[in-house]
Structures are given as structure tokens and as C-alpha cells.
Amino acid sequence: MALLDASQHKIVSDAVAQAELTTSGEIVPVLTDASDNYAEVVLAYCAAIAFTAMSVMAAFPMVFTGLWDGLWGGWGHDWTTGEFTTLMLGLGVVSFAATWAILLIDALKFRLVPGPLKRARVRDAAVRHFKVGAESRTHGRTGVMLYLSMKEHRAEIVADSAIAELVPAEVWGEAMADMLSEVRKGCLAEGIAAGVRDVGKVLSPHFPRAEDDINELPDRLIEL
């Protein structure tokens, strides 16, 4: 499902076209719902919960066997090793499945993913998409990608080699701050547009637009 409608896409497209009037740089805004599904994180949580449940049962066997007998209305009996092992494995399976079901709720899952891992995955995704969609696709290697990943609440700015040589990474901080300030208020299109305008201002002194400049990349927002 698209995150922005046609009118919101136009806000971003217009900002890109306006920003590129003063620079030969090519600005590519990219928006995605999430950069990764973090399946291995979910599996780790499921395994940890299942192992913990089984360990607690092994430490306090009488509590669990007594509870089982009570639930099923039976008389207490001497549990065999096989019966106890079966019950413990069953508890592990149920705990694993229940944790998996709970973590299907994205809001909870993304809260449990460690911040450094989210940051790394968003950065990797931004670089990967930049290499496919913008890197070396301009004559002067002047492409810049603004990448925004919603569920991780992370953004990245990736620049082509000619820009990276002249513009230190920290210079993009203002563009990032302006973009995220609007996004936090729920103004997603306006936030991306603000970031685009700031990137254009950074590029203009280093890569001014020439009279014969050709628009090499589409002036539009890409939704993944």
C-alpha cells in the first residue's frame, strides 16, 4: 500500500525540480515502509522465550506437573521421565509459537529490534538502493539519495563519489534535521520536500547548474 497519495507525491516532485534549478546534482528521494523484516531477531526472541520457559520448568518441575494435573482434574501421579520430557517440550513449542504470533505485530517487533541493528540495516538498504538506482547514473557522478525508512524511524543520505569528495557527511545534518522535524509532526511529504531543498542548497555552490545541463534522473519520489 502506498504511503503517500498523488498530491503528496507532487509536493516532493516539485521540491526536487525546484532544488535542481540551481545545481547539476540529481536528487533522488526514496521512501520505504521498512528496510528489513528482521526475521532472525524474531527467531532469537522466540528461541530465548522457549528456552527460558523450559528452563524454569526444569528448575521447578513439581509446580508444572501439579498445575497440569489440576487443570485436567486428574489425581496426582508419579510422572515418568518420558511424560515430563513431553510436557516440557510441549511448553517450549507453545512458548515459541506464542512469541512468534505476538511479534507479528510490527509496532512491537520494531520496538524490540536493537537500535544499532536498525541503524545498520537502514544504512545497508540505502546504500544498496543507491547503487542500483543512482550511483554512476549521472555524467558527473552527482547523484544524491535521501532514504527514509518509516518503521525503523531512520533516514540516510547517500551521495555519489564526486559529491562525497567535496561534501563531508556531517554537512547533511541540517537536511536530515529539517526532514525529520516535519516527519515527526506527521507531515511526511513536507518533510521529504524540506530535506530535498536543503540538499539542493548544499549542492549549489559545489555543483552549479550549467546552461546545457540535462536532467538525468526523474524528479520524483520513489516508494519501495
pLDDT value, residue 130: 86
Residue with cell 520457559: 53
User: Domains (ranges, CATH) in the chain?
Assistant: 6-37+115-223 (3.10.310.50), 39-111 (no CATH)
Give the separation between CA 22 and CA 205, rounded to whole angstroms: 9
| pTM exceeds 0.75 for this model | yes
Q: Which residues pair with 147 in a beta bridge?
A: 30, 156
Query: What is the structure's pLDDT at 210?
Result: 77
Q: How confident is the prediction along the chain (224 residues), in pLDDT tens digits per residue?
A: 678 889 999 999 999 999 888 888 888 999 999 999 999 999 999 999 999 999 999 999 888 888 877 776 666 678 888 888 998 999 999 999 999 999 999 999 999 999 999 999 999 999 998 887 666 666 667 788 999 999 999 999 988 888 888 888 788 888 888 888 888 988 999 999 999 999 988 888 888 887 777 777 778 899 98
Q: How far apart are CA 97 and CA 52, in angstroms?
A: 14
φ, ψ of residue 124 to 5 degrees: the values are -60, -40
Contacts with 214 (C-beta within 8 Å, 6 or more apart), sequence order: 139
- pLDDT for res 30: 93
CB 191 within 8 A of CB 8: no
- Report the pLDDT value the prediction gives residue 134, as an integer from 0 to 100: 65
Tell me the chain's radius of gyration from C-alpha atoms.
Answer: 26
Enclosing H/E stretch for 99: helix 81-102
Residue in this structure with the C-alpha cell 552527482, named with its chain if needed: 142
Alpha-carbon span 196 to 144, nearest angstrom: 10
pLDDT of residue 50: 96
